[in-house]
Amino acid sequence: MHDLMRRLYPLCRSLTGDGVRQTLAALRELIPLELHEVPTGTPVLDWTVPMEWNVRDAYVKAPSGERVVDFRESNLHVVGYSVPVRERLSLAELREHLHSLPERPDWIPYRTSYWERSWGFCLRHDRLVELADGMYDVRIDSSLEPGHLTYGELELPGETEDEVLISTHVCHPSLANDNRAGIAVATFLARRLAREPCRRFTYRFLFVPGTIGPITWLARNQERVPRIRHGLVLALLGDPGSPTYKRSRRGDAEVDRAAAHVLRRSGADGEIVGFSPYGYDERQYCSPGFDLPVGRLTRSPGGEFAEYHTSADDLELVRPELLAHSLTTAAAIVEILEGNSTYLNQSPKGEPQLGRRGLYGSLGGAAGGRERELALLWVLNLSDGGHSLLDVAERADLPFETVRDAADALLEHGLLAERGV
Ligand code: ZN
């Protein structure tokens, strides 16, 4: 995942444009993404697909002739969606278009102006204060023209048409945690699920620009929306903060309970936060007209790590072991969604004799043995058609996996049956 992030580093991603296409092309070497191109001007819900933005070069040249701000050094130097510019300006005029962080003088801020025609440069405050009076040549060789919005979609069919939606944003340029980390984790989760011999649910992965991406997908897929049973927005999954899960608008959806179970048991000080209509693309999936059971997994929530939206959000901040932990966490949530079912005890009067069936005491004395036996008893006791295996795991305070294994053993011996639908 870290290698993938390194590869995606130089690409100048934005809401639209070739940086997104090149990013998705790189992901296609790992997962069979389908690419969609939606023309500028297409109405999508209350929005319209914007102009396509591409930038080839941009710089500010000092009176000395030196490029004091240079897009070729970092794509963060150009305000995203800057209109083309070729001007000669005094320092005072230029400064109205310069953004820096006085409190972090050696970091470049990340800024965009998607919905208002404008232009600007972002630079280290250290460099800004050194700029001498005089005339500056300013050049932004960009295009902002009718084109397309590009997004990637991967469908992994399952035994049912019920879907699990996994969505991540692809619109940020050379930042690491936000959101090459989310892209990397989603890609490797897709790879892992693609290798499963059978999946209960159909999985739909979306690699979309923030806000306008999910709005575009939702607008084009309204007939598919009712099939979404569970969903996760994956973002900012590589910083040293502990995992944070944000509940869906519903607050008690199965994915909310699955994530809470995983975080509670992971021992990693995971945090669960309630829904709010602010944040990443869960805002769209959880808008009231859809109200989908979609939560969000991040590490430090957006904006709550110092490096957020600056050049310091780099590959030093994001460590491979943190990415791996995030992937494990996301996969554990998905495993619960896949494995959670409700059963009926087929021998509910008195306890069935487990020893006779080799289910009891077979691991007598082994450390995991007692937990396994407890799980068998809990599953039998609560499988009255009204409790799912996740309910059992929560009530018994056992790992879901142990409960799932117990249910499989009981199913094998005919002691459980699927609850009729
Ligand atoms: Zn961001």
Tens digit of each residue's pLDDT (9 = 90 or more) over 206-238:
999 999 999 999 999 999 999 999 999 999 999
Q: Using 50, 70 and 90 to split pLDDT, how confident is the model at 421?
A: very low
Per-residue pLDDT, averaged over 29-42, amounts to 98
What is the CA(100)–ligand 1 centre distance, in A? 17
Q: How far is CA 18 from the centre of its chain?
A: 21
DSSP output for 269-308: --EEE---S-SSTHHHHTSTTT---EEEEESS-TT-STTT
What is the CA(310)–ligand 1 centre distance, in A? 10
16: which 2 tokens? 């639209």
DSSP letter at 180 equals I
What is the CA(146)–ligand 1 centre distance, in A? 25
DSSP helix, strand, coil percent of the chain (3-state; round to 5): 35, 25, 40
Instruction: Give the separation between CA 144 and CA 121, rounded to whole angstroms.
Output: 17
Q: Which pTM does this prediction carry?
A: 0.96
Q: Which residues have a Cβ under 8 Å from the Cβ of 235 and sit 6 or more positions away?
A: 168, 169, 178, 179, 181, 182, 280, 281, 296, 297, 298, 302
Fold of 2-50+148-337: Aminopeptidase (3.40.630)
DSSP letter at 397 equals T
Instruction: Give the separation between CA 272 and CA 281, rounded to whole angstroms.
Output: 17
pLDDT digits (tens, 9 = 90+) for 369-412: 789 999 999 999 999 999 999 999 999 999 999 999 999 999 99
| Closest to 142 measured CA to CA, from 84, 87, 86, 77 | 84
Q: Are 83 and 119 in contact (CB under 8 A)?
A: yes
Fold of 342-420: Arc Repressor Mutant, subunit A (1.10.10)
What is the CA(172)–ligand 1 centre distance, in A? 7
What is the CA(235)–ligand 1 centre distance, in A? 9
What is the CA(210)–ligand 1 centre distance, in A? 8
What is the CA(209)–ligand 1 centre distance, in A? 11
What is the CA(178)–ligand 1 centre distance, in A? 5
Instruction: Give the separation between CA 99 and CA 96, rounded to whole angstroms.
Output: 8
pLDDT digits (tens, 9 = 90+) for 100-154: 999 999 999 999 999 999 999 999 999 999 999 999 999 999 999 999 999 999 9
Domains in the chain: boundaries: 2-50+148-337, 53-145, 342-420
What is the CA(69)–ligand 1 centre distance, in A? 22
For 4, 69, 78, 80, 213, the CA distances from 117, given in Å and listed in that order, are: 33, 21, 14, 11, 20
Print burial letters for 105-144: b (CB count within 10 Å at least 16), e (below 16).
eebbbbbbebeeeebbbbbbbebbeebeeeebbbbbebeb
pLDDT digits (tens, 9 = 90+) for 170-200: 999 999 999 999 999 999 999 999 999 999 9
Fold of 53-145: Glucose Oxidase; domain 1 (3.50.30)
What is the CA(362)–ligand 1 centre distance, in A? 53
